[in-house]
Structure 1
Amino acid sequence: MEIFTRSLFAALLVGAFLAVPASAKDAKSSAMAPAAAQDKTLTVFAAASMKNALDEVDNAYAAKTGVKIIASYAASSALAKQIEQGAPADVFISADTAWMDYVTGKKAINEPTRVNLLGNSLVLIAPKDSKIDKVTIDQGFDLAKLAGDGKVAAGDVKAVPAGKYAKAALEKLGAWTAVEPKMAMAENVRAALALVARNEAPLGIVYSTDAKIEPGVKIVGTFPASSHPAIVYPVAATSTAHKGAEDYLAFLRSSEAKAIFEKYGFSFLVSPTT
């Protein structure tokens, strides 16, 4: 009986000993899982006009590093407000410096990581089958007359960078007052692009890179660079960015990323790092 009791007691001790580490190991694994996932995932908030090019850049980065990029595209204004309110973004790419300045002022950006990465141009578009073609855009340009009874699609001129650039250009060229009542304001530049592609607006003002990726539209004119502020895309890590954000930013400045961005029509404003 004594031998049996001792054997039973020993077995219970061994069982207890084995059970505790297993439980602790499971708990430790569960606790570490989110951190491990975060190390392999980055969230990027980017201007809507960047979608096609940045998707390709992100795929190249993921193939090279194993890090998955979760990209959220919208108007820079909307993204900046979300970051201000605590949205979990690691990187912000704005279509203008004003909204990057805004979130920087809110202490939501890791300022030393900020760099002006890309440039773009502003164009007038029409549906691909439109009779409107080869419009000369200069001082005295009568966009209101050209639009006829239709609307001119653009991003919201009060907030969306593409819309703000459009308004600045039209004011500089003396066309804004007449065309303002005909403006169809969209929530972002891709929404404005879609209005023209669907023939819901006979004309639109978008970035050249947007027109390039949409087969349903054609470029009928280009706004002089002197008619609006320079179109600049700054990029930076947020103040709450996870580990790995700066490595991603370095890749955005690489020769590989440069080739992709330029393929889509962006100008590259920095010297490649690799």
Structure 2
Amino acid sequence: MKYLNMFLMVTLLLVFSLTANAGEELEVTVSAAISLKDAFEKIGKLFEDSHKGAKVIFNFGASGTLARQIEGGAPVDVFAPAAQKDMDDIEGKGLIAYGTRVNFAGNSVVLIVPASDNVKVTSFDGLKSEKVKKVAIGNPKTVPAGRYATKVLNFYKALPAINDKLILAENVRQVLDYVAKGEVEAGVVYLTDTVVRANEVKTVSTATEESHKPIVYPIALIKGAKNEKISNEFIKTVVSKAGRDILKSYGFKTLK
């Protein structure tokens, strides 16, 4: 009986171990630009529903910050920044799996104001008005939307005139939050950000494509990803027709 009990205990431990390992093998950790949050959460649900036992763990934030985390050894399987530069940085350091990088979506830069706009800003040039005290953009050092915003503001000759008005946010969704709450008179975000808080902000101007480089989102598998097979399946879901349809529903431009 003693040996039987020991045998059963060992068997149970083995079963639990195999079950835990199987679960871990179906986990995908995705670091993605925060502008992708709503679309990716929906794609993640689609992926989990179509891959039995799979679980997607998202880490959303500023693309530059996410890239630094990966460089520091963060356990990430898939990376999807909002700019080519951040993917270029980690690819240049040999951190993405060969042949897995693909561009999957595009975006536009827009100027937004609170829904109850009392200042009546209607253009990027209008930011120079004395009535405009604060303008929010992402921090250009770590936020791609902030870098695009700087390019756009320079194009429209709003810089350096509004330098003292700029409020630098940690990510593009913080810019959106500042504007929605009326804490600033205006902000520069992606078109897709306005979709999630359409009742709280107004888009007053869309930057011409000539004002900045094309906004293209890449996605890739991180070299040494813990769960390579299931992570590649997630990437396939993102670029699939169903994935593109979800992205399009949130205002992203789909790429051929």
Q: Is the 8 A contact 2:136 2:167 kept in 1?
A: yes
The verdict on how the C-alpha distance between 1:44 and 1:181 changes in structure 2, with shifts beyond 3 A counting, is: same
Contact 1:104 1:111 in 2 (8 A): no
- The answer to whether the 8 A contact 1:151-1:202 is kept is yes
RMSD between superposed Cα atoms in Å: 1.7
Q: Aligned residue for 2:223?
A: 239
Asked whether the equivalents of residues 244 and 254 of structure 2 are also in contact (C-alpha less than 8 Å), the reply is yes
Give 1:85 shift: 1.0
Counterpart contact for 2:90–2:96, Cα < 8 Å: yes
Alignment partners' CA distance in 2, 1:131 and 1:223: 22
Query: Max radius of gyration: which structure?
Result: 1
Query: Which residue identity is paired with 1:265?
Result: G
Which residue among 141, 144, 147 is the counterpart of 1:164? 147
Give the alignment's TM-score, normalised by structure 2: 0.93
The SS at the match of 1:59 is helix
Shift of 1:149: 4.5
Percent identity of the aligned residues? Answer: 36
Decide whether the 8 Å contact of 1:134 with 1:221 is kept in 2: no
Deviates more, 1:102-111 or 1:162-171: 102-111
Report the Cα distance in structure 1 between the residues aligned to 2:103 and 2:208, rounded to whole angstroms.
Answer: 21
- Structure (1 or 2) with the greater helix fraction: 1
Which of 20, 25, 37 matches 1:34?
20
- Relative to the length of structure 1, the TM-score reads 0.87
Do residues 176 (structure 1) and 159 (structure 2) align? yes
Instruction: Please give the alpha-carbon distance, in whole angstroms, between the structure 1 residues aligned to 2:30 and 2:138.
Output: 21
Greater Cα shift, 47-56 or 107-116: 107-116
Structure 2 residue aligned with 1:259, among 238, 245, 251? 245
Which of 78, 81, 86 matches 1:94?
81
The number of residue pairs the alignment matches comes to 252
SS at match of 1:219: strand
Shift of 1:173: 2.4
CA distance in 1, matches of 2:137, 2:96: 28
The answer on 1:198 being equivalent to 2:181 is yes
Q: Which residue type is aligned with residue 195 of structure 1?
A: Y
Give 2:41's aligned residue.
55
Distance in 2, Cα, partners of 1:212 & 1:69: 23
Residue of structure 1 in register with 2:196 after alignment = 213
Return the offset for 1:17.
4.3
SS at match of 2:79: strand
- Gap regions ≥5 residues in structure 1: 1-14
Report the counterpart of residue 111 of structure 1 in structure 2: 98
Cα distance in 1 for partners of 2:240, 2:109 equals 25
Question: Which 5+ residue runs of structure 2 have no aligned equivalent?
Answer: none
